[in-house]
Structure 1
Amino acid sequence: MLRQRIISLVVLIVAIGFISYAVVTNQSPKVGAEKGMLAPDFTLPLWETGEQASLSSYRGEIVVLNLWASWCPPCRKEMPDLIRLHEDYKNQGVVVLGVNLATHERDENGVEEFMNEFKVNFPTFIDQPIDQVNRRGVVASSYNIQSIPYTYIIDSNGRIAHVIRGEVTYGMLETLIKEL
């Protein structure tokens, strides 16, 4: 009788431990720049105002996060589609956000000329160097950007649903956000 109670107690303790482990690991998603991970948060100045804003302030919406530089031909080609997507979906729980990879720019006027030329009308962050020694940008570093453009589709819970390396189109993005 005592032996059965001990065995039952051990089984119960193991079951509680297993359930606890499952709960903890499911509630603590990994932060990273790959599909299924929690998108790395950042706080940077916005082009429009210069005020600091954070990616996490858009939690609750589907985010199309596009990383670009003014001199990049595919970045230039995809921008009209991103602007159109912003216009068509801004009142439907989808926000398009840009990140100019300022540390990748070739001249100091490139960003302003690009923003004016394309009449970019969605919030655009300006990536900043991590520090004076490491001139790599905060976003470029935390998202491990090796080439541009990059586009991340982030679900309303802050998880990366899609990672697109290279040029995007309106149709491609529309299909992917409708899945969410």
Structure 2
Amino acid sequence: MQVKPALGVIFALCMLAIVFWQQTQFEIKAPDSTFITITGEQIELHELRGQPVLVTFWASDCRVCIEEIPDLIALHEQFAGKGLQIIAVTMPYDIPSRVKQLSEMHSLPYAVALDIDGTHAKAYGNVSLTPSSFLLSREGRVVSRVVGRFDFADWRAQIDAL
């Protein structure tokens, strides 16, 4: 039975492919997006070059997204003075009035943008799971991507290093 060694080789090759894929994913330039916030403000991503940016896709009906809000507020409070911009982008199916209500209820200090037609979700790799967050370097490159709840200490360290 030579099955076990063959499975080990296949597993090792799969792990190498995953590591390579993850590394290449973070070498891409972020899409040049224009976000429209719930207050009507227009944010041109290319105008934020020179600053770290956190783009996070969320939904008002996503429990983990709501649980993440205090961590996002804490990141904003800690790093806004150092240039960090946070843009929370709602999913296309989200109801704008519900998004506004949640934003006011939690006194969100960062930008909240609507993605009515799914343009932003598509530009960021067809985002369909929330939360999905992308940390962009000062040069506009995706340096980290997390699907699901992010690790606050890890992101704080990554942002601090930018």
TM tier, shorter chain?
A: 0.7 to 0.9
Q: Would you say the 8 A contact 1:84–1:170 is kept in 2?
A: no
**CA offsets 1:71-109 (integer angstroms, 9 cap, x no match):** 1011000011101110111111322221122x121x453
Secondary structure of 1:91's counterpart equals helix
Distance in 2 between residues matched to 1:95 and 1:42, nearest whole Å: 14
Q: Shift in Å at residue 179 of structure 1?
A: 3.1
Q: Is contact 1:46-1:125 (8 Å) kept?
A: yes
Task: Please tell me whether residue 119 in structure 1 is matched to residue 135 in structure 2.
Answer: no
Unaligned stretches of 5+ residues in structure 1: 1-32, 130-136
2:30 corresponds to 1:39 = yes
Aligned length: 138
CA pair 108-162 structure 1, distance change in 2 beyond 3 A: closer
SS in 2 for 1:70: coil
Would you say 1:174 and 2:156 are equivalent positions?
A: yes
- Which of 112, 116, 122 lines up with 1:141 in the alignment? 122
SS in 1 for 2:26: coil
> Do the aligned residues in 2 keep the contact of 1:67 with 1:99 (CA within 8 Å)?
yes
Tell me what 2:97 maps to.
109
- Cα deviation, residue 34, structure 1: 2.9
Dislocated runs of 4+, deviation >3 Å: none
Q: 2:55 aligns with which of 42, 50, 65?
A: 65
SS in 1 for 2:140: coil
Q: TM-score, normalised by structure 1?
A: 0.71
CA–CA distance in 2 between the matches of 1:44 and 1:158?
A: 15
Tell me the residue number matched to 1:153: 135
Max Rg structure: 1
Identical positions, percent: 28
Unaligned runs of 5+ in 2: 1-23
Please give the root-mean-square deviation of Cα atoms over the aligned residues, in Å.
1.7
